[in-house]
Structure 1
Amino acid sequence: MALNNPQRRAVLGALGLAAGWPALAVTARAASTRFPSRAIALWVPWPAGGATDLTLRLLAELASEHLGQKVYTENRAGAGGTLVMPMLQQAAPDGYTIAQMPQPVFRAPWTQHVAWDPIRDTTPIIQISGVTFGIVVPEASPFRTLDDLFEHARANPGRLSIATNGFGTTPHLVLEQLFGARGLKWLHVPYKGTSEQMLAVASGQVMVGVNSNGFAPFVDNGQLRLLATMGAQRSRRWNQVPTLKELGHGIVAESPYGLAGPAGMPAEVVQVLHDAFRAAMQAPAHVAELAKYDQVLAYLGPQDYGRAMRAAYEAERLAVQRLGLARKE
């Protein structure tokens, strides 16, 4: 049967549309899977209001601008900063759940039985910065040096109260090393986060505090006195304060941190996140926020950060064994 011109155009149009269906389907599928297509959760293993929380909140805001989707922070404080690991272990590896990786996640599996592994259960994205630590006392405290602390502990066994951000954290291990080497007993008072801990020390509820450089505002406003820092060199900001190393204790304690997602994330998703957070971390506003806490950028890409994570995991195993804090099998 012959078709007139209008009929022929209609049939040819339908055939053309049908022929284009596969391409249209591919295009639609690509559009629906373009990452990110919705908000991203960044889990922070510390309470709101602390130095790390504040810097990561700003970083999330800056990264949102590059991703075209909101990155919002969720706080999961407690257990010395390790509660993000169960979150990553259970999350889908689609890039919509990521977390800060603090140093304690590389130590905890060696000191206690946990159901997760910081290497097996994660995908490295980017290393951002790092914190150093310090020992602080209230401004009115009679303690002016570390030797004053040792003398008090020697005269009052188990009565020198010292706050840290939890069992198995870097400050806790440093204290075990300092006081254990001298056969001294002290009272450990763990807190979930820096701001709560520093307020307790400043108000005299606890005699001494050891934590990351989130103590900065309290030292700067005169509420706390900084006795020593734990970096390889003196702090640029408080260069009159000695390090544990130069005081002869042979200890350098620094905690680099970055972001990771669940194991098995696609390489292209990792790259998108990496690029956005790298641009965000280099933003002047973020660099200035880090400077408030005497921090600097310590960038590593996914592969280098993965190697650094594995090295940290092994180093923590050796440190825990050396201090006699290894878990019972």
Structure 2
Amino acid sequence: MKRTLAVIFAGLLSATPLAAQSVDDFPSKPMTYIIPFNAGGESDISARFQQAEWEAVTGQQVVIQYQPGAGGAQAWSQLNSLPGDGYTIMGINMPHTVLQPLAGSAGYKTEDLTPVNYFHYTPNAIFVTKDSEFKTLADLVDYAKANPGLVTFAGSGSNSANNLAAVQFNELADINTTYVPFSGTGPSITAILGGQTTAGFNYATSGVSQGDAMRMLAVASDERLPAFPDVPTFKELGYDIVGGAYRGVAVPSLTPEPIRQKISDIVTEINHRPDFIEKMESAGFVLTDIGYDKMDDFVAARIKEYTAGAKALGIIK
């Protein structure tokens, strides 16, 4: 027994430099980046922008795969069953990953997830088609008041930032509208353009990706966005609505701490590359730099904020 333990101990000692070396060399092969939504949404667009920079930063390619379902919950519930070697990462969104578990049927808990970097933020916005009878937010509100329940909003999943914004808007505007969840921004935009819903509570970035096909009536930011200088904020129009979605990168729970930090550092480095900044800001994204070392405090603050939001959604009392 003593000899066996000695051999094991010696093996562990000899493995330490190799482990350190593997972190220094990480990544040494292509990586898989899972997007838990359909193609075409903000998670996909921002990941594609990252993909163009990933090889320049790491020397390795990243391959994007899609695993849509249940507003992201299908993929997040399976994240920790994936290999924890750092070569599989997954897109992660808030408030989805706080609100969904509070609803009780997500298949995962917020604390089960391991985000390593939140690299951008997208404010909510209301959209209609370019040919819509609603030219302003006031037009839409007046119609909703005259026709309770008839105005429908397409959005990116149940218990999402879009869903929360729609509930807040109903309360502040004293109207009754119907929120229709889809499995991501892409399908919800398709519904708006196809006339399946009256309007959409989506993210401001959709205004860039769809060009003149849609009209943005208001945006839930503190100030007007540079990409949309003519679009008023909800605050300007008398509604105290500021919010949207944070998006980042998560890893399986078995991923070692040094690899978690390394992936976070890669994302941060990409976030500071001029071409990436230009693409993201031109597309309506707001860049953030919430790395792994800041993650605990950031997530704790968002849980407190979104738990209050969950009461507005009726998820909890």
Name the TM-score, length of structure 1 as normaliser: 0.82
- Structure 1 residue aligned with 2:250, among 260, 265, 274? 260
TM alignment of 1:28-67, pairs within 5 A: 33=22, 35-67=26-58
- In 2, distance between residues paired with 1:212 and 1:83? 22
- Shift of the alpha carbon at 1:299? 0.8
Higher mean alpha-carbon deviation, 100-109 vs 290-299, is at 290-299
Aligned residue number for residue 108 of structure 1: 100
Q: Does 1:127 align with 2:118?
A: yes
**SS in structure 1 opposite 2:280?**
helix
Q: Secondary structure at the match of 2:189?
A: helix
Q: How many residues align?
A: 305
Following the alignment from structure 2 to structure 1, what is the Cα–Cα distance between the partners of residues 189 and 48?
20
Contact 1:290 1:296 in 2 (8 A): yes
1:326 equivalent to 2:315? Answer yes
Identity %: 26
Give 1:26 deviation, angstroms: 5.5
Please give the TM-score of this superposition, normalised by the length of structure 2: 0.85
Distance in structure 2 (CA, Å) of the matches to 1:253 and 1:91: 32
2:305 counterpart residue number: 315
Q: Is 1:117 matched with 2:106?
A: no
Give the Å deviation of 1:252: 0.6
Q: In the TM superposition, what are the counterparts of 1:5-44 in structure 2 within 5 Å?
A: 33=22, 35-44=26-35
Structure 1 stretches lacking a partner, 5+ long: 1-21
Correspondence 1:204-215 to 2 at 5 A: 204-215=195-206
Q: CA deviation at 1:77?
A: 1.9
Alpha-carbon spacing, 1:93–1:193, altered in 2? closer, same or farther (3 Å): same
Q: What is the alpha-carbon root mean square deviation over aligned residues?
A: 2.8
- Corresponding residue for 1:11? none
CA deviation string 1:254-311 (max 9, x = no partner)? 3222212122432221232123222222222221221232223211221213321221
Alpha carbons of 1:242 and 1:32: their partners in 2 closer, same or farther (altered >3 Å)?
closer
Quick check: which has more Rg, 1 or 2? 1
- 72-81 or 182-191, larger mean C-alpha shift: 182-191
1:99 maps onto 2:90 in alignment = yes
Return the offset for 1:55: 2.1
Give the whole-Å Cα distance in 2 for the aligned partners of 1:33 and 1:123. 21
Matching residue of 2:4? none
Matched to 1:106, the amino acid is: V
Distance 1:157 1:93 in 2: 50
Using the TM superposition, give the Cα deviation of residue 128 of structure 1 relative to its aligned residue in structure 2, in angstroms: 1.0
Counterpart amino acid of 2:79? Answer: L
Tell me the SS of whatever aligns to 1:249.
Answer: coil
Distance in 2, Cα, partners of 1:291 & 1:100: 19
1:290 aligns with 2:265: no
The range that moved more, 65-74 or 167-176, is 65-74
- For the residues of structure 2 that align with 1:267 and 1:132, how far apart are their CA atoms? 31
CA offsets 1:80-119 (integer angstroms, 9 cap, x no match): 233332132222332122212211112211223333222x
2:217 equivalent to 1:227: yes
The 3-state SS of whatever aligns with 2:127 is strand
Distance 1:117 1:327 in 2: 15
**Aligned residues of 2:27 and 2:60 also touching (Cα < 8 A):** yes
Match of 1:10 in 2: none
Cα displacement string for residues 210-254 of structure 1 (whole angstroms, at most 9, x for unaligned residues): 1112322366x3221111000111112212221112222211113
**What does residue 5 of structure 2 align with?**
none
User: 2:231 aligned to 231, 241, 250, which one?
Assistant: 241
Taking the aligned partners of 1:171 and 1:259, their CA distance within structure 2 comes to 20
Change beyond 3 A, Cα 1:274–1:148: same
Q: Which amino acid aligns with 1:107?
A: L
> Shift of the alpha carbon at 1:56?
0.5
The 2-side partners of 1:182 and 1:266 are apart by: 48
State the alpha-carbon separation in 1 of the partners of residues 277 and 154 from structure 2. Answer: 29
Aligned partner letter, 2:275? A
